[in-house]
């Protein structure tokens, strides 16, 4: 029995799918963590096994302490200032104590803490539900623990916003570009219809710089490697009592809050 042209093409097509296509499909399907854009990092680049942040709330004293930190982030990341509160985009902002730690806050805590604004932003969870639910891997976790967004892959389904227990994510309900005061041309602006959030300044780490908020905080925000016992974050966490938001959900948030007291710890 000879193989006619039609059958030959059929077999050729099939074996291509199984041979070449099949491997890449299977590879794609079962690789759970997306590889970040790994290029050769420059020697000064900061790296860690798992980036984390300690937020010492006792060091936030004046309104300026907060604004400096927020502006440092929002200005370099082209975060728009929208008038409509429902469409708000925010990467780092403040919430009251009782809203930062709902169902976990202490009614009789001292008045100054009770009324103090708390800095909140993405927790860069060790086990991030937003990454798990994303249908396109547009949000992914890097090897150093940073939870990132690919603004060009995001389809805008907002599953990640439903999944995030920390309200860290914003969606571009409208075109953000007209609302960016001074565009930073070194960082992308976003289009309407995609989700965005804090990226732990991955673009600065690659250049050997600490996150902008950390730099602007005057020591109130401490950034470091949670897996390194000699890092500053570990040193603080071993000497001061810190709490995290909603740790019971098992997402493993990487932001640690030090509340109140003790200047000389």
Site residues for other proteins per CB under 8 A: 25, 28-30, 32, 84, 86-88, 95, 98-100, 102-103, 120, 129, 131-138, 153-159, 161-167, 170-175, 191-195, 246, 249-251
Residue 154 CB neighbour total at 10 angstroms: 22
Whole-number minimum distance, CB 38 to other proteins, in Å?
18
Output 41 or 102, the one with its CB closest to other proteins: 102
Output 80 or 224, the one with its CB closest to other proteins: 80
Output 7 or 175, the one with its CB closest to other proteins: 175
Output 79 or 237, the one with its CB closest to other proteins: 79
Whole-number minimum distance, CB 166 to other proteins, in Å?
6
Output 9 or 243, the one with its CB closest to other proteins: 243
Output 52 or 131, the one with its CB closest to other proteins: 131
Output 26 or 63, the one with its CB closest to other proteins: 26
Whole-number minimum distance, CB 94 to other proteins, in Å?
11
Two tokens, residue 136: 């396109």
In a 10 Å sphere around its CB, with 0-12 CB exposed, 13-18 middle and 19+ buried, how is residue 40 labelled? exposed
Whole-number minimum distance, CB 148 to other proteins, in Å?
15
C-alpha of 242 from chain center: 20
Bridge pairing between strands 255-258 and 51-56: parallel
Closest CA to 52 of 246, 214, 183, 262: 214
Residue 234 CB neighbour total at 10 angstroms: 17
Whole-number minimum distance, CB 143 to other proteins, in Å?
17
Whole-number minimum distance, CB 223 to other proteins, in Å?
23
- The helix (H) or strand (E) run that includes residue 224 is strand 221-225
- The helix (H) or strand (E) run that includes residue 96 is strand 92-96
C-alpha of 192 from chain center: 19
- C-alpha distance from residue 84 to each of 24, 81, 89, 193, 196 (Å): 45, 9, 10, 16, 17
Two tokens, residue 242: 């810190």
Name the 3-class secondary structure at 46: coil
Whole-number minimum distance, CB 225 to other proteins, in Å?
26
């Amino acid at each position: 029995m000879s193989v006619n042209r039609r059958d030959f093409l059929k077999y050729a097509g099939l074996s291509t799918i199984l041979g070449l296509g099949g491997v890449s499909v299977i590879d794609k399907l079962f690789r759970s963590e997306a590889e970040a854009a790994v290029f050769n990092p420059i020697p000064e680049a900061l790296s860690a096994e798992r980036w984390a942040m300690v937020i010492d709330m006792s060091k936030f004293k004046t309104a300026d302490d907060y604004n400096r930190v927020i502006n440092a982030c929002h200005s370099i990341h082209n975060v728009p200032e929208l008038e409509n509160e429902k469409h708000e985009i925010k990467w780092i902002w403040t919430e009251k104590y009782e809203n930062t730690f709902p169902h976990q806050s202490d009614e009789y805590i001292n008045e100054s803490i009770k009324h103090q604004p708390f800095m909140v932003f993405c927790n860069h969870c060790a086990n991030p539900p937003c990454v798990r639910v994303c249908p396109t891997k547009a949000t992914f976790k890097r090897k150093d623990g940073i939870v990132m967004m690919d603004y060009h892959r995001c389809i805008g389904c907002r599953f990640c916003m439903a999944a995030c227990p920390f309200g860290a994510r914003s969606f571009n309900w409208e075109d953000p570009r007209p609302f960016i005061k001074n565009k930073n041309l070194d960082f992308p602006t976003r289009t309407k219809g995609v989700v965005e959030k804090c990226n732990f300044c991955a673009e600065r780490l690659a250049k050997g710089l600490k996150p902008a908020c950390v730099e602007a905080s005057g020591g109130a925000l401490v950034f470091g490697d949670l897996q390194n016992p000699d890092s500053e974050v570990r040193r603080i966490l071993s000497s001061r009592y810190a709490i995290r938001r909603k740790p019971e959900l098992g997402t493993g948030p990487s932001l640690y809050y030090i509340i109140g007291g003790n200047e000389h710890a």
